[in-house]
A and B are shown apart, each in its own frame.
Chain A
């Protein structure tokens, strides 16, 4: 398993186990995720890849029956210890969801939402919104209608707005949970370009059902099956010379 990354390690996970009630959903996951790179999680439905992604910003805390054991460190700081402020953690580790979920507010207010609550100065917000929308590759399309409803945007634009909203909070890591599964091919390719652009400044982890997408945009790929991390390596290696039989079967389309 690789752990000597060119840009260093961002996320370190050791022996992570997770249960939904009695159901043991993640078994002893250990993985190091590199800084300023794109890491893709692939695997068939129900393999635990989304569940694992949601461990990295503790979104699973919202599920009462969910219990975790093991260690997750982000930038050297353990996130499952008692003294960790989950709210603060989620500022550092942003998340973009499967279905675009802008708030029923204006485009501007969506992006300004996070910074406002986190206490950004009033006169700084215009700049933050503009920067975030530019970084989210949406500025050119919406700069003349910032006050129109976010829900009037197309699905792809809404998803880029959600990315901009996440960027406005200035996270270190961005988690993408199948961000393109509800989008058409053109919107998908815009998001993929954006992700490649974002990895210069952020560590990206993306769950995807689409193996071509993983191959196109990721530097590293982790393959999950039935709650186990089967194989993790450079994306070329996983796709061209997988070490595990199960990985090869999945990639060549024998199941999934």
Chain B
């Protein structure tokens, strides 16, 4: 009996270890594969130059900038909107049918395929509101796509703020809104930033929604306003790999593009992580 339990313990532990190891291994393999194949394409010209010679030479500067604009644009819309609705839902809304319906809508939004968001963005922003295929249409579409992630993460973050903080503040004759602003939100920011981190990866990587709302096949210049079309890294990658003018010849450029995409996501995440740890350490004071 006793040795059996011990054996089971060993087997369970080994399985857990193998599962974790596999996950790490996949990540490392992908990273290695991309870095190994992509690093030769990386140089200053690659990240600062326009694509040349029917995208078989030159750099991917417009795609890098396009993806950056999308990250900035969609976060600028989705973060405030998501955080404000999370505050409303968590702190103010009374449980009931309406709140339940809203929560269900958010869940469904989270499960909607991104191409559907793309179609919606095409109908709503590109056509109906007349923004045309543009940075603003694509950013708004991506903002909708990540809204549920941000709302959920913000709600979770708000719920983890101890009830004692709220009570202490309210008992001092402080209004609910001031309590939220001065005590609850600062304590919830690290969790909210986690939601933002997850969304940045999504915004940088999504292809279907931007394909329908403004990403250009090829554009040898930077967009000159939010109403311009743009190039973006994931779509550029797709174009080079499937319908480029010379797929085999541009292989290194494809891996280089993937590597740059990964690097951008990593850099933005690092910034977000440092914001988070800054607030965490500030919380102690």
Q: Please report A residues at the B interface, Cβ cutoff 8 Å.
A: 57, 59, 62, 64, 87-92, 94-95, 97, 99, 101-106, 109, 113-114, 117-118, 147-149, 151, 162, 165-166, 169
Contact = CB atoms under 8 A, between A and B. Distances in A.
Contacts of B169: 103, 113
A105 B285 contact: yes
A126 to B, nearest CB: 18
Interface of B: 94-95, 162, 164-165, 167-175, 178, 182-183, 186-187, 283-285
Contacts of A88: 173
Closest 5 CB pairs of A and B: A91-B173, A101-B164, A90-B173, A95-B171, A114-B172
A114 B172 CA distance: 6
Contacts of B182: 113, 117
Contacts of B183: 103
Nearest to A118: B173
A90 B167 contact: no
Contact of B168 (A89, A103, A148): A103
A117 B183 CA distance: 12
Nearest to A104: B283
Contacts of A99: 164
Given A101-B164, A103-B165, A117-B182, A166 B172 contact: yes
Contacts of A97: 164, 167-168, 171
A160 to B, nearest CB: 14
A203 to B, nearest CB: 16
Contacts of A103: 165, 168-169, 183
23 contacts: A59-B170, A62-B170, A87-B175, A88-B173, A90-B170, A90-B173, A94-B172, A95-B171, A99-B164, A101-B165, A101-B168, A103-B165, A103-B168, A104-B186, A104-B283, A113-B172, A113-B182, A114-B173, A117-B174, A147-B285, A148-B285, A162-B168, A169-B173
Given A91-B173, A104-B187, A114-B173, A151 B167 contact: no
A113 B173 CA distance: 11
A118 B178 CA distance: 11
Contact of A114 (B94, B164, B174, B175): B174
Nearest to A64: B94
Nearest to A114: B172
Contact of B172 (A64, A90, A104, A148): A90
A54 to B, nearest CB: 10
Contacts of B170: 59, 62, 90
